[in-house]
Amino acid sequence: MAWSIFSNPFASSSSTQPEASSSSSSRSSTTILPEPIPTPPAPKVNRFENILNDEEKYQEKQYPTVDEVPGCMRLLDEFLMCYALAPQLRSMYRYGEFRDCTWKWEDFKYCLSLKSEEEETRRKLWIKRRAEWWAKRRVEGSSEDVWDMRSEPPPNFPPVVAEEVTSENSTT
């Protein structure tokens, strides 16, 4: 039996190539070419991943150096200031409930967990955390999102007002 690099050694004997005794023209006509391997489609990036990439770029600009990343004491101060009397009363007046400051506590704990990391690694991890927080907030929307963004102006905008020229309106 003649072997080819394109023949399948596991195929049944009926589908193999003819024996070496057959003519060379029949051998070339019966060679089996491999099927082209289809390339998988490119993965679609969802809206959250697009927004996350945008936010990471923005956070990179906001925290250009390690010194710009807030320290743990600053985050603890922000957590304690959140539970101060004035912000809690303001929240009660505006929203009818006390302000929830657990996310500030989570930021403080995250900062403590980054203490063992190198400065540049700490900066990159902080940027990633803030970008994820902002991206999640942008995807979920806000209670302030009451207007729909238009892609084009409404019809008949601005409205055309026909002015009548009268002797009272003219200055000449």
Choice between 140 and 54, residue whose per-residue pLDDT is larger: 54
Helix (H), strand (E) at residue 131: helix 119-140
Q: 32 pLDDT band (50/70/90 cuts)?
A: confident
What are the structural domain ranges in the chain? 47-139
16 has pLDDT over 70? no
Is residue 2 pLDDT above 60, yes or no? Answer: no
Residue 107: its pLDDT value, please?
A: 95
The structure tokens listed for 65 are: 């150096």
CA 10 to each of CA 2, 6, 7, 41, 93: distance values in angstroms, whole numbers, following the listed order: 14, 12, 9, 30, 78
Question: Bigger pLDDT: 165 or 81?
Answer: 81
Residue 117 or 25, more confident: 117
